[in-house]
Amino acid sequence: MTTLPATADDPTVRGFNLHLVSERNASPHTAAGYLQDLAQFAAFRWGVDATLPLPWMRVTPEDARAFLAELARASARATTIRRKIASLRTFFRFLLREGLLLDNPFAGLRGPRPAKPLPRVLTVEEMRRFLEAPGEELRSLRRTGADTPVQVHAILRDKAVFETLYSTGCRISEVTPLEWGEVNLDNGSVIVTGKGRKQRLCILGSAACAALRELRERMAADGLPTDGKARIFLNSRGRPLVPRDVERRMKHWLAAADLPADLTPHKLRHSFATHLLDGGADLRSVQEMLGHSSLATTQIYTHVSVERLKDEYMKAHPRA
């Protein structure tokens, strides 16, 4: 479907955008997603050349159902359809609150139920190989005298990034902006800012603390700041690391550990949750560590654990 770029200039949409940013603490990325979904509906309902302001108050439940049918005809993914319906429901709920209409045309509309594939996780042994790969490469470079300050910093930084991701179960977007003042290596904790700008306390295991200490020592030796608002993870130009940098570096260490190249940093989060549950951790505790608002989101990892048990059972039981 064609989008309607001018939708963002509609006064009602501008008010909604202000509501998202100032009242709901939505990130610019999230707010842009809402506006994109509104633009798509506007293009469907009134066409790309519609005159502003748009007559949002005239939208009917029939329009909502027709939009859903159009998305289905366009073979949109179930998760995409449900997100767009949720965006429009939120928008019209805002109009209700503002007294601009009496009924939400998207209130009773539900998109298709998406399939929930089980997340791919690394085994404990695969995780060990992956996390030990940077240290092995650094030892090899030092044996041959080929280690340079830039190489050493990059390797220690990568080790600290991935140890932190696996130790905390954080999203990559929560780890890359970390500052030294947010980390307490004495008690093994870190404060991260997650979705909706909500902060939570995460645990740093001994391996992650050791990796961060070694990185801090290297940075101090290189004359880089290691306290307060100073970023922990920097690239070779001294600029803050971004998620894309981490994804690219992960490819290098996956190859070094002889692991599939399609694994992503988010798989470390999946592995974190699954390994905790396999080890007997309480589901609600894992939910809190992951920063999930709903326990149902966390429960998918119990399915991963059950499937793994079933696989072992089928391999080992004589009458499986």
Q: How far is CA 187 from CA 183, 184, 232, in A?
A: 9, 6, 18
The CATH number given to 124-314 is: 1.10.443.10
Residue 2: pLDDT band by 50, 70, 90 thresholds?
very low
Residue 198 is predicted with a pLDDT of 87
Between CA 276 and CA 229 the distance in angstroms is: 31
- Phi and psi torsions of 99, nearest 5°: 75, 25
Q: Is the pLDDT of residue 223 over 70?
A: yes
| Domain residue limits, the chain | 5-97, 124-314
**Mean model confidence pLDDT for the chain:** 89
With a CB cutoff of 8 Å and minimum separation 6, the contacts of 282 are: none
- Tell whether the torsion through CA atoms of 150, 152, 155 and 158 is positive or negative: negative
**195 classed as catalytic:** yes
With a CB cutoff of 8 Å and minimum separation 6, the contacts of 180 are: 216, 225, 226, 227, 228, 230, 231, 232
Q: Is the pLDDT of residue 3 over 50?
A: no
How far is C-alpha 8 from the chain's CA centre? 26
**19 classed as catalytic:** no
Write down the catalytic residue from 195, 216, 267, 319: 195
Write down the catalytic residue from 171, 216, 218, 267: 171
- Specify whether the CB–CB gap between 70 and 111 falls below 8 A: no
Give me the mean pLDDT over the 311-320 stretch: 69
Write down the catalytic residue from 200, 231, 252, 266: 266
DSSP 140-208: HHHHHT---HHHHHHHHHHHHHHHHHHHH---HHHHTT-BGGGEETTTTEEEEE-GGG-EEEEE--HHH
Write down the catalytic residue from 89, 218, 270, 301: 301
More confident residue, 307 or 142: 142
**229 classed as catalytic:** no
- Specify whether the CB–CB gap between 226 and 180 falls below 8 A: yes
Residue 224 is predicted with a pLDDT of 95
What's the angle, vertex CA 86, arms to CA 67 and CA 41, rounded to 5?
Answer: 30
Residue 312 is predicted with a pLDDT of 66
- What pLDDT digit, counting tens, does each position of 46-66 carry? 988 888 889 999 999 999 999
Give me the mean pLDDT over the 206-227 stretch: 96
Write down the catalytic residue from 120, 129, 252, 292: 292
Maximum Cα–Cα distance across the chain: 75
Q: What is the dihedral of CA 58, 84, 194, 241, to 10 degrees?
A: -120
Count of alpha carbons within 13 Å of 141, Cβ hemisphere only?
A: 17
- Specify whether the CB–CB gap between 213 and 219 falls below 8 A: no
- Specify whether the CB–CB gap between 236 and 154 falls below 8 A: yes
Q: Is the pLDDT of residue 5 over 60?
A: no
Residue 9 is predicted with a pLDDT of 87
Give me the mean pLDDT over the 159-166 stretch: 97
Can you read off the two tokens belonging to residue 237? 């130009």
Q: Is the pLDDT of residue 314 over 80?
A: no
Q: How many other CB atoms sit within 10 Å of the CB of residue 235? A: 14
More confident residue, 194 or 320: 194
What value does the CA radius of gyration of the chain take, rounded to a whole number of Å? Answer: 24
Residue 258 is predicted with a pLDDT of 96
**244 classed as catalytic:** no
Report pTM: 0.63
